[in-house]
Amino acid sequence: MDLQALKNKYDIIGNDAALNDALETAVKFAPTGLSVLIQGESGVGKESFARIIHQFSPRRNAAFFVVNCGALPKELVNSELFGHVKGSFTGAVDNRKGYFEEADGGTLFLDEIAELPLESQALLLRVLQSGEFRKVGSNKVEHTSVRIVAATNVHLYEAVKRGKFREDLYFRLSAAQIRIPPLRERKGDIYLLFRKFTSDFSEVNGMCKISLKPEAIRLLEQYRWPGNIRQLQGFTQSLTAQLSVKVTPTLQRIELSAQDLQPLMPLEEGDPIPMVYEGPQPQGTAFNADERQAIFKAIFDLKQEVDALKARIDRRELPAPEPQPVEEEAEWQAQEDFPAAEERSLSVHAREEELIRQALEKYHGNRKKAAEELGMSERTLYRKLPAEYRKK
């Protein structure tokens, strides 16, 4: 299967070289029996890679289970993974199979594997080495044949050095690794993903698609997207819901400028906040903990202001974006023809007036009901009434 067909099948969007390398590596590992460790930040799509590995493996016709290790109650982790026998603990009213027994012959995707307790890590290592496990409360050794694909959003070897992750398990898993790049390293894919998300959302809801002017694209790409693809999808859907209107024969698409987009861009909540140093103080240092905290906060606030100022400067003189490779399979992937300067796009104010008109028409001019529909007070609605409704 060629790379583009693979992306289409698993709904993976992007042309970044690092993303393509990760996909090719997943396909190469798939036919082997190797356990695979997928590393990447939250929201980059690690589960899709695990499914690709399963589907291209000899186990494709067997079970594929997803286990979020971070969501398992710590006191029930071993029971969930390996099962338990009746009476082994309070609430164990019957024998129960665990994931390793259920997935026998198939693939088990252990997401957030760094969250497993050390005791469970030791049991997992035994399964990986010999295929043996015991149910909670049982002395009977059982066997399973399961392919493990693990994923983490933390640096596992750093967890090893902190004593939070077993070194022997780390080396067992890390022989075959795949790193999925975060969205901030795939700037050329950001607008392509934006167009995909607004296109899908608009089609489902009968709304106009959103497109961006070059300077707005640059603004979108400048943000670091700490939540990666998941955050960008939520942002795009929310933006479309707020600024788009229903499709009409004469209005199919709305174009936004950087000025339209800026007020709705997410805050830089993902920025690392300086930590207070709690170790021994250098000789001659007179600052106490509160003073150090105040200094670090001042530095952080200054950084915020500098970043905001840089963004304002960048918006004044924005170069045209670099041409990006696009695919031809869908309308949202085609190159856009940006309108000439004299062609005015629908402004945010005009879109707001259009929404007010629609609400007033729906309720036959009843301002109270229209205001409730739009989520604003009657006074606010009156201030924003289109000219033709002010005399009514």
Query: Of the given ranges (35-44, 55-64, 381-390), which has the lowest mean pLDDT?
Result: 381-390
Give the residue-averaged pLDDT of 346-368: 76
Give the residue-averaged pLDDT of 178-195: 96
Residue 179 phi, psi dihedral angles, 5° rounding: -110, 125
CATH of domain 348-389: 1.10.10
pLDDT digit string (tens) for 105-119?
Answer: 999 999 999 999 999
**What distance in Å separates the CA atoms of residue 131 and residue 101, rounded to the nearest whole number?**
11
**What distance in Å separates the CA atoms of residue 354 and residue 239, rounded to the nearest whole number?**
16
| Selected residue with higher pLDDT from 306 and 96 | 96
Q: Per-domain residue ranges for the chain?
A: 3-181, 184-278+287-316+328-333, 348-389
pLDDT digit string (tens) for 293-323?
Answer: 455 545 555 655 665 565 555 444 444 444 4
- What is the residue whose two structure tokens read 């800026």? 262
* pLDDT band per the 50, 70, 90 thresholds, residue 242: very high
Residue type, 269: E
**Residues 277 and 334: beta-carbon distance below 8 Å:** no
What pTM was computed for the model?
Answer: 0.69
β pairing state of 147-152 and 177-179: unpaired
Q: Has residue 92 got a pLDDT over 50? A: yes
At the top level of CATH, which class does the domain 184-278+287-316+328-333 belong to? Answer: mainly alpha
Per-residue confidence (pLDDT) for residue 269, from 0 to 100: 53
* pLDDT band per the 50, 70, 90 thresholds, residue 285: very low
Per-residue confidence (pLDDT) for residue 204, from 0 to 100: 95
Length of the chain: 392
At the top level of CATH, which class does the domain 3-181 belong to? Answer: alpha beta
Query: Of the given ranges (93-97, 223-227, 250-254, 313-317), which has the lowest mean pLDDT?
Result: 313-317
